[in-house]
Each structure stands twice: as structure tokens, then as C-alpha cells.
Amino acid sequence: MQQARDILKQAELLYSSEQVQAALRNVAQQINAKLADKHPLVLSVMGGAVVFSGQLLPLLDFPLDFDYVHVSRYGDARHGGAMQWKVEPRENVRGRVVLLLDDILDEGHTLSVLRERVLELGADKCYSAVFADKQRGRKKPISADFVGMEVPNRFVFGYGMDIEGAWRNLPAIYAVKE
């Protein structure tokens, strides 16, 4: 617990909770404009997207179905590893428009694999929305259709993104000091 507090104490605030909420409203408007007549199946990527999903869903003004998937490449580490499926997409994606929600598009591997799997299971169309898109300076295997905000190529946490398992619950976004 003290280690987590020390990490936050030494971190740099990148985006305030007000900036985060403004970005959330903006991405909701984009999704509303594109998917209002689609009755999509929304799949939240646990656990990172729980905050983003929970705050985004009430801002969407169209009927939708909701489910989740659980895949991880990080665990409590700071670097991505092998893909670990905990809950795969179910057959309920067949013939549907699917919207994947994730906290961050970092290297793009997780979202790319999820999109491929949803399409393999027979989804008609697969969109993706991420709250944060990390500007890594190199090409990613996938781009999100809807992005809340861009973040620098640093280790960021807060608003669903964790650091060593902690601080997903912060309303703002922080970065580890360089």
C-alpha cells in the first residue's frame, strides 16, 4: 500500500479529472453519431475498461446489449507479455455490430487480437473505442475507431489504467516521472 502511495506522490499529473470528463463526453458524441441506429453489442475489456465503460454507457443514447471479455498482457507488470484469455468473446457476437471498449491502445496487440476473434465468431462489423491512445511513434497493428484522448509515450495510469495493480480508480491520468 505504501509503495502505491509513493508511486502516486512521485507521478506527474498529465490530465485533470475535468479534462478526462471532457474527453469522455467527446468520445460519447462520436459513438452516438456513428452507432445510434445499429443496436450494437458492447464488449468491455476487463479490467482496464471498467471505469471507461461504466462512465461511457450512460452517455450513449441508443439501445445496446452489453457483455465483457477478459484478456491481459500485463498482469501487474509494466511491460506486456503473452496474451492470457480469461473470458473469450461468446457466440452472441454472430451477426452483430460489436463495439469493443478498452482503456488504452498501447502497442495495439490486445485490441487487434480481440477484433480478429470477434470477426472470426461472425460479427458483421467490429468497431473499437479506447479512452487513451498512446503516441508511441511507430505503427500499430490496429487503430481505434473512437479515441477519447492521446497520451504521450510514457507509462500512464489512472482512469482504469493501473500501475503494478494499483490506481485504476483515479479520476485523472498520471505518468511515471521520467
Q: pLDDT, tens digit, for every residue of 16-26? A: 999 999 999 99
pTM higher than the cut 0.85: yes
Among candidate residues 61, 65, 103, 106, the one labeled active-site is 106
Query: What is the average pLDDT value for the chain, to the nearest integer?
Result: 91
- So what's the pLDDT on residue 177? 86
| Span 117-130, average pLDDT | 95
2-175 under CATH 3.40.50.2020, yes or no? yes
Dump strand ranges (E) for the chain. Answer: 12-15, 41-46, 65-72, 84-87, 97-105, 125-135, 146-152, 156-157, 173-175
pLDDT level of residue 178 (50, 70, 90 thresholds): confident
Domain boundaries, the chain: 2-175
- So what's the pLDDT on residue 73? 61
- So what's the pLDDT on residue 70? 85
Helices (H), the chain: 2-10, 17-35, 50-56, 109-120
Question: What's the rounded Cα separation, in Å, for the pair 86 and 63?
Answer: 27
Q: Which region among 16-30, 60-74, 105-119, 150-164 has the lowest average model confidence (pLDDT)?
A: 60-74
| Span 56-71, average pLDDT | 94
Give the model confidence (pLDDT) of 69-117 as tens digits.
Answer: 988 665 454 555 566 766 667 668 999 999 999 999 998 888 998 999 8
- So what's the pLDDT on residue 56? 98
Active site residue 106: yes
